[in-house]
Amino acid sequence: MASIDLTLSEEQRALRAGVLEICKRYPGEYWRDLDARREYPEKFVTELTEAGYLAALIPQEYGGAGLGIREGGLILETINYSGGNAGACHAQMYIMGTVLRHGSAAQKREYLPKIATGALRLQAFGVTEPNSGSDTTKLQTTAIRKGDRYVVNGQKIFISRVLQSDLMLLLARTTPVDHVKRRTDGLSVFLIDIRNLKGFEVRPLRMMMNHSTNALFFDNVEIPAESLIGDEGKGFSYILDGMNAERILVASDSLGDARWFIDKAVAYSNQRVIFGRPIGANQGVQFAIARSHISTDAAQLMRDKAAALFDAEQPCGGEANMAKYLGAEAAWEAGNACIDCHGGYGYAEEYDVERKFRECRLYKTAPVNNTLVLAFVGEHVLGMPRSY
């Protein structure tokens, strides 16, 4: 049985302190300015990479720290708790798991050490398409084998950090859906070098928050056959394998956001005096913050349970999904309590509340919508009929 440690070990506290030290050099003004210009936090991500934090989950033999998902989550949570946005760099932690588990020895030797040092950046994960959305197995991008290459055609939407990455993990159909037994078969994963790729177009999308998100177009794009990860046609199961890690890490982003909102709300409502007393003395203000603190602590327990199971290599699909759900909802609840108690100031950019409010909203929708988390729990945890 995996055991859940509710306190941080000395090493985990040191890890958090190290990340906080870096984050202190990137205050609200830094993130606010990039947000206004919709620019990538290049300097922050480079510093974090050089300090080795983004290689936390890469095994030591490939130059990483060989830490567990609990530590990976702690790094992301700390970034968001400090007022930053780990969304700029969280994907590397969960994408490289697919290479690690299913890549060939040659691919691991070639890529992991370079990802660990930051010589190569792998922050892009191309799954979502305009015509399939959450129904991944219906994706229409094809990769057809021609000799020693695959030729890729199709479109992707909402793919983040493509212009800031050297490598992208791509999911494409290699066998038409009417030629396979199950619709989950016939999809393949490729690790592709996207620098100077002929026929590949990236169109940046201006989104609600600063997330470096794009529409992608593949027009007869040729990629080497060695870019295939694992066996052709088994890509969907490889992606599913990585989803628990993704859910736990995204839950950690949300927990950091929630704690930031709560600290900010408590500080403000204790010092803002209206009608002759601090606004925090009013139950209408205080209870909303207290409620969101309760939700956040509960979400953290579920995230810690999911991480403990994951690190002990035990099944954790239900827990990872529930952690992502509870984390995203807790951050949203805390964000609302925080913006409410700030009154008009909650909408003023210089307070950072409105920016964090926009940023935290994403995790109710992506990488999977909370409605589909409910569908997962209904079907796989409770044994109810499949609803989609």
Residues in contact with ligand FAD by the rule CB under 6 A: 125-128, 133-134, 158-160, 207, 211, 213, 362, 365-369, 371-372, 375, 387-388
Contact 230, 102 (CB under 8 A): yes
Name which of 282 and 369 has its Cβ closer to ligand FAD: 369
- The CB-nearest residue to ligand FAD is 133
Paired residues of 193 in beta bridges: 167
Q: For residue 357, give every residue at least 6 positions away whose Cβ sits within 8 Å of its Cβ, in sequence order, or none.
A: 335, 336, 338, 339, 346
Rounded distance, CA 356 to CA 365, Å?
A: 16
Contact 35, 355 (CB under 8 A): yes
Query: Least distance in Å: CB of 377 to ligand FAD?
Result: 12
Rounded distance, CA 184 to CA 213, Å?
A: 26
Name which of 45 and 288 has its Cβ closer to ligand FAD: 45
Name which of 225 and 372 has its Cβ closer to ligand FAD: 372
Rounded distance, CA 68 to CA 57, Å?
A: 6
Query: Least distance in Å: CB of 4 to ligand FAD?
Result: 29
Name which of 247 and 305 has its Cβ closer to ligand FAD: 247
Contact 72, 249 (CB under 8 A): yes
Contact 93, 72 (CB under 8 A): yes
Query: Least distance in Å: CB of 200 to ligand FAD?
Result: 16
Query: Least distance in Å: CB of 318 to ligand FAD?
Result: 18
φ, ψ for residue 154, nearest 5 deg: 145, -165
Name which of 123 and 286 has its Cβ closer to ligand FAD: 123
Query: Least distance in Å: CB of 38 to ligand FAD?
Result: 12
CA atoms within 13 A on the CB side of 186: 19
Name which of 302 and 373 has its Cβ closer to ligand FAD: 373
Query: Least distance in Å: CB of 14 to ligand FAD?
Result: 31
